[in-house]
Amino acid sequence: MRTTDRLTALVLVAHIAAMFTGFTILADAFQFPDVLRFPADERLALFRAHEDVIVPVYWMLAMTGFSQIFIAVLLKRDLAGNAAMLGLVFGVVAGFGQAMGFGRWAVLVPWLAERMADPALSDAGRETVALIEGAFNRYAGMLVGEHLSNIAWGFWLFFTGAAIHRGDVFDQRVGMAMMCLSPLFGVLAAEQLGLEGPILGVLTDFGFPLLALIHFGLAWQLVRRKDGEPAPRLGIGAVAVGAVLYAVMVWPAAAG
């Protein structure tokens, strides 16, 4: 159990680290997430200009879909009841959607960007490439990668949090935090239904760091857990460290 606990802790931390690192790099090299709303020809041109950086990052982000599945499966072994089972189901669905949404950038988009940059391509051909890219952007990206995955992610947080809150393995306050944070992903999914505005940026900038703290808190408990015993509860030291980490993560958004 100690080995599995440490593996789960490692995946929890690596998953969040990969996502934050990937999104930070893409924001600088690819104007993410604003680029998703650019015209197809502009998006593909920007993609091709920074392809050497963008493709590896999207491969890494696609792998976070699998790490999300691993997390759902590994946490389930310590949780019981219908809520835990639903958490497992939605965690797997969320991970699959993430992998599919991010993976298109590493496999499909490089080919489309190459075709769009071909000087011999006719205007009709460019329109066709733009149509294909736009269709996949809205289907694999917006529908599967953002809308459905965010809904499943929110349900995973809620049901897994409920199972933690009702159980005696983890700190029950972490489970409550997961349930309270879960509606955030429903709001983000609603963007694809027409919900827009500055509030989405605020929720993303200040909400996702809370998800990171939940992952870190679970990982810390698992690392300190003894075989067959409940994980130790988070003390004042862990809370203080969490507050400092949160301040560091939200500082770029708060400062400007």
Instruction: Note the helical H segments in the chain.
Output: 2-29, 40-49, 51-76, 82-116, 123-136, 149-166, 172-181, 183-189, 198-224, 236-255
pLDDT per position in the chain (256 positions), as tens? 788 999 999 999 999 999 989 998 998 899 887 888 888 889 999 999 999 999 999 999 999 999 999 999 999 999 999 999 999 999 999 999 999 889 999 999 999 999 999 999 898 999 999 999 988 888 877 778 778 888 999 999 999 999 999 998 999 999 999 999 998 887 777 766 666 656 666 777 788 899 999 999 999 999 999 887 889 899 899 889 999 998 988 887 777 6
**Residues 196 and 188: beta-carbon distance below 8 Å:** no
pTM, 2 dp: 0.89
Cα 140–28–18 angle (5° rounding)? 60
- Please confirm whether the linkage preceding 33 is cis (ω < 30° from 0): yes
